[in-house]
Amino acid sequence: MKTVDQLVSEWTEEERENLKDLIEECLEREKSISENSKRSRESLAKINESLQSFLGSLYEIKERTEKLADDLLGIYLHFHHNKMASA
């Protein structure tokens, strides 16, 4: 995509003078768009890092939950076995 300067460089001096205000406004907007794009990319990178951390935490919770379920099943089976042995 051409920049404002690249596009305007193809115009005659008269065209540039006649559209001077429009060119200045476009240059300001181009700068704003560039800055916003940079901030958006940085924000997206931070969101991605946060998402990766969140997914890592979810995986850890899943692993711990599975271990807890296994431990509880072991306790249940231990008591159930003792209950049947005494009956």
What pLDDT was estimated at residue 80? 87
For the four alpha carbons of 49, 50, 55 and 56, in that order, the dihedral sign comes to positive
pTM: 0.65
Report residue 78 as tokens: 């231990």
Per-residue model confidence as pLDDT tens digits over 19-77: 999 999 999 999 999 999 999 999 999 999 999 999 999 999 999 999 999 999 999 99
Measured distance CA(55)–CA(63) in Å, rounded: 12
Residue 9 scores a pLDDT above 70: yes
What pLDDT was estimated at residue 87? 62
